[in-house]
Amino acid sequence: MTGAVDPAAPAFVPNETAMTSERQIWEAAMLLVRRHGEDAAEVAGREAKKYGKAEDEVTYVVWSWIARATAELIKAEPSEDEHVH
């Protein structure tokens, strides 16, 4: 099937040779939410664990940031102590 998207595949693969900006982290998180919905944070967490076990520290950290950003995006309501604009 040409052009088929594997739903199990991550929406973003960090480029180890380039610096990852905060904007790229949030863009990746948004792509994951669009593709995986409520499961996006879990998908990002699995990716982080995979690279943590492979001892690829940089990619592990990037996926951990993506997982955190993804969790923020899918959170239903802000915490009581969070400042809302």
Q: How far from chain centre, in Å, is Cα 14?
A: 10
Confidence class of residue 85 from pLDDT cuts 50, 70 and 90? Answer: low
Residues 6+ apart with CB under 8 A from 57: none
pTM of the model: 0.69
Cα separation, 77 vs 23, whole angstroms:
22
More confident residue, 20 or 35: 35
Cα separation, 13 vs 17, whole angstroms:
12
Per mean pLDDT, which range of 22-31, 53-62, 75-84 is the poorest?
75-84
